[in-house]
Structure 1
């Protein structure tokens, strides 16, 4: 039976996190190509299948270089890493939920995002996948509900800028990923080379 709160869920918007400095990769991770498109474009396409619209979180200096068709969302909370992008989205539309995906997840599939959305619990602060490495939630493949805005600001006020810490200490829906290998981040040139091989792209 469908619960009343499931019928009144806030609309779901998408956010690609692509504003990092990519220091370990030594080049912009969002511009890498594993699927014929820049990774920030590919992630936006995945999100477009399950969200009403999609924005790309980026630094102000990245806006001009975004591929045509992508909607930029400049960070309004600077020097906070991923948390700054999430808070900027929630500030843009505090009445929407935001499905946030990092740009360094070349193995992520639409099916996994569909699973997350299908099992979304909008009565909680967020719906997240459990990390394949430990029992903690993955904050950068997560649906952040409108109520998460106050939660994240409260943690920021306490000096915590880690979104995972906020999830660990909040009432969330924690899911097992259908295929945990899809949650693998690619952060270094060596990891990118391995990813290309696994995706059948060679070096």
Structure 2
């Protein structure tokens, strides 16, 4: 049997029965996917915003159980990741004082500064990038998101509908996506949503029952609606 690429993206195996070839290719792709899942997955929670619209740090807002949004996010993430870091300045609850803190990457602003800092500090892992103002993240959403990883995908930036906006926060990035982040910084593009249009980034539609996990709260009016 001889396996070679006939053209970009196509693996051709000659000298093999067609049925056996399909079985071989399926097993080969399964092996590649397994290699993807062996890469450690970390989480980076962004708290670097000034919360100017909310008027107070959003990550310190508390839910009905008395815990801050940041504490709840960390607890939800823990079963799905190897470790968690916090990117950005600001006070954190004493219960999370042992978590590693990273400063934002110099010369960059917004979420892009956080993920550049994280991927530069730990370049050989994948990242779930999370905003601090998403209080309803479900375990099922994290399981679904992490499960979208596959060979050839540099990241998972989902959307709420087929024609909906990309959701670059609460998204999953392979270590190879670092090259996309660096390219955006080089081109002075600070909108992290531009990562999602890269051809190596996968954009699945979020299942309806999980869509609430991508809800963010930015203003007192939205907070009042959320709490009531």
TM-score normalized by structure 1?
0.87
Larger radius of gyration: 2
TM-score normalized by structure 2?
0.78
Extract unaligned runs of 5+ from structure 2. Answer: 1-26
From 61, 65, 72, the equivalent of 1:42 is: 72
Instruction: State the aligned residue count.
Output: 194
For the 8 Å contact 2:80–2:143, the answer to whether it is kept is: yes
For the 8 Å contact 2:196–2:203, the answer to whether it is kept is: no
1:183 matched residue in structure 2: 214
2:43 alignment partner, SS class:
strand
From 84, 87, 101, the equivalent of 1:54 is: 84
Report the Cα distance in structure 1 between the residues aligned to 2:174 and 2:223, rounded to whole angstroms.
32
Instruction: List per-residue Cα deviations over 1:98-128 (Å, max 9, x = no partner).
Output: 1111111112211111111122235312112
1:200 matched residue in structure 2: none
- Tell me: CA distance 1:191–1:134, structure 2 relative to 1, closer, same or farther (3 Å): farther
2:123 matched residue in structure 1: 94
Deviation at 1:74, TM superposition (A): 2.2
1:4 matched residue in structure 2: 31
- Greater RCO (CA < 8 Å, at least 6 residues apart): 1
Extract unaligned runs of 5+ from structure 1. Answer: 198-203
Matches within 5 A, 1:12-23: 12-23=41-52
Larger CA deviation: 34-43 vs 18-27: 34-43
Matches within 5 A, 1:102-181: 102-132=131-161, 134-178=163-207, 179-181=210-212
Q: RMSD of the TM alignment (CA)? A: 2.0
Deviation at 1:161, TM superposition (A): 1.0
